[in-house]
Amino acid sequence: MIWWHTIIGYGLVFLSIFHIFAHSINFYNFQEAWVLQDVPSKLSFSGLNPLQKPFSDSSAAFLLSWPGSTGTLIFLILLLMFSSSFGIIRRYQFGMFKRLHFLFIFFYALFTVHGLGGILHKQINVKQHNAKCTESSYFHSWGTAICDNPIFESIPSTSWLWVIFPIVLYGIELLLLLKRFSQKAEICDYKILPSKVLELSIKREGFRTKVGQYVSIFVPNISKFEWHPFTITSAPEEAPLLRLNIREAGDWTERLINCFAKGISELNLKVVVDGPFGSCLENIFLSEIAVCVGCGIGVTPYAGVLRSLHYRCTKKNPIILSKLYFIWCCRGVSPFEWFGDLLRETESLLLETDNSEKLQIRIFITSVESQKTIDKIIDNVESPKDVITGLTEKTSYGRCNWRKLFAEIGELHSERCINVFFCGPSPAAKEAKQSCVDLNKNGLNFVFRKEVF
């Protein structure tokens, strides 16, 4: 729904500019009506012209009027909200983006009273001043027994009709939010992992999730206004325990991680959890063949999938999923410092329970940070396990060839539907999706789903 919200935002700005331009022309004509000696001048004295006196400048008339002043404030608020919504600002100044969006309260308030200026009128004596009176030969007979002067009155504002429904919905959301505030969420454990990652374990009674879902958390000690979404990395089988892996990516996450890094007790931090919210990964275990692709930090949603697979195989419950391909592409080796343990544990467990055929892991590293790492890789080429990940599957170095990789998977499962779940940058997602589309033309059956992360 983010794309729909974006379209609405662009539409509001465009239509607001058009609306202001139209009103500017109207006020110019209202001003000119005071100096013209024809029908417009008569209309000026009949209640149609909202300007009660002539102005030397139509712009001043516009800004000093009730619709002009409130409309200008509405447009300025809209510009502030719109300009702070661009990706680069949200990424590095999320707090400012969030706070400016709270201006919607003033936007709605001004929008509701914007139409009270009475700039729109309707004629109330149509019988006494009908269409015949508008003929040129009758202009000078207005106000006589032949043709009464036209009488106009303001059209009542109906702006409130447009805002009452969303205001009611927002009020319901506030009530639900207050209810969620009352639900106790307890921080029961935390770990500071390499690569500036915080693993936060939260316990909330009655909390139930599905794989791949996410929650929003609010920490009043860090910010009084900000809610931040994070993917759930624990398995549904671990409920009511909720595990989040939070990487430093902005001022809010930096302050949160620093609180724990400095040894501040978790008991001093109150956390409010909102959710869980849906994800395309929820029904992954209903797929026969699934391909999970993560790029960089986009691997996070699959942590819950791997942990859930771990639990399902341990309990030896029958599952529909017969093969899971886990593909991770990243720029360097540092991400493995915090995610590698989970991969190794899952691989080891599947080997112990004779379920190794259910999971195949493919790692692609596009760059290596140091010569020391390169030498280490070369010296351990013949090692039974990969020197970087510790997995039995060796790491590939270089960019992933999506078409080639998916073609190999497709040949092994040509008669089945292959569900591809992708979480990562849009350019890579487009390339992977196009590869699926091309392979489907050759008779394969790939279904591509992109996780918004």
Report pLDDT digits (tens) over 276-298: 887 888 888 888 888 888 887 77
Q: What is the mean pLDDT of residues 64-73?
A: 84
Q: What is the mean pLDDT of residues 66-79?
A: 88
Q: Which residues contact 406 (CB under 8 A, 6 or more apart)?
A: 291, 418, 420, 432, 435, 436, 439, 446
C-alpha 167: how far from chain center: 21
Between 202 and 141, the more confident residue is 202
Number of H helices, E strands in the chain: 14, 14
Q: Please check whether residue 113 is in contact with residue 107, taking contact to mean a CB–CB distance below 8 angstroms.
A: no
pLDDT for the residue 453: 53
pLDDT for the residue 5: 82
Highest mean pLDDT of the ranges 182-191, 263-272, 400-409: 400-409
Residue 369 has pLDDT above 70, yes or no: no
Report pLDDT digits (tens) over 1-29: 677 888 888 888 899 889 888 888 877 77
pLDDT for the residue 228: 84
The answer to whether the bond into 276 is cis (omega within 30° of 0) is yes
pLDDT for the residue 364: 83
- What pairs with residue 365 in β-bridges? 330, 397
Between 340 and 417, the more confident residue is 417
pLDDT for the residue 384: 56
Q: Which of 363, 375, 438 minimizes the C-alpha distance to 399?
A: 363
pLDDT for the residue 212: 82
57-61's contacts with Cβ under 8 Å and 24+ in sequence apart are: 57/31, 58/24, 58/27, 58/28, 58/30, 58/31, 59/24, 59/27, 61/27, 61/30, 61/31
Lowest average pLDDT, out of 35-39, 114-118, 230-234, 347-351, goes to 35-39
- What pairs with residue 154 in β-bridges? 121
- φ/ψ bin of 322: left (φ > 0), alpha (ψ from -120 to 50), beta (otherwise): alpha
Lowest average pLDDT, out of 41-45, 129-133, 316-320, 321-325, goes to 41-45
Report pLDDT digits (tens) over 166-213: 889 988 988 887 777 766 777 888 887 777 778 888 887 777 888 888
Q: Which of 15, 102, 27 minimizes the C-alpha distance to 7?
A: 15
Rounded to 10°, the helix 94-101/251-261 angle is 120
Q: What is the mean pLDDT of residues 297-317?
A: 78
Report pLDDT digits (tens) over 333-357: 666 666 767 777 777 766 666 666 7
Distance from the first to the final alpha carbon of the chain: 13
- Cα separation values, 381 from 137, 177, 388, 392, 397, Å: 101, 55, 11, 12, 13
Mean pLDDT computed over every residue of the chain: 77
Q: Please check whether residue 189 is in contact with residue 198, taking contact to mean a CB–CB distance below 8 angstroms.
A: no
pLDDT for the residue 64: 77
Task: Quickly state the pLDDT bin for 57 (edges 50, 70, 90).
Answer: low
pLDDT for the residue 76: 92
Q: Which residues contact 403 (CB under 8 A, 6 or more apart)?
A: 435, 438, 439
Distance CA 387, CA 373 (A): 9
Residue 111 has pLDDT above 80, yes or no: yes
Q: Please check whether residue 326 is in contact with residue 361, taking contact to mean a CB–CB distance below 8 angstroms.
A: yes
Q: What is the mean pLDDT of residues 31-40?
A: 62
Task: Quickly state the pLDDT bin for 47 (edges 50, 70, 90).
Answer: low
- Percent of the chain past pLDDT 70, that is, above it, reads 78
pTM: 0.67
Residue 452 has pLDDT above 70, yes or no: no
pLDDT for the residue 192: 79
Task: Quickly state the pLDDT bin for 77 (edges 50, 70, 90).
Answer: very high
Q: Which of 281, 274, 280 minimizes the C-alpha distance to 242?
A: 274
Lowest average pLDDT, out of 61-70, 217-226, 256-265, 424-433, goes to 256-265
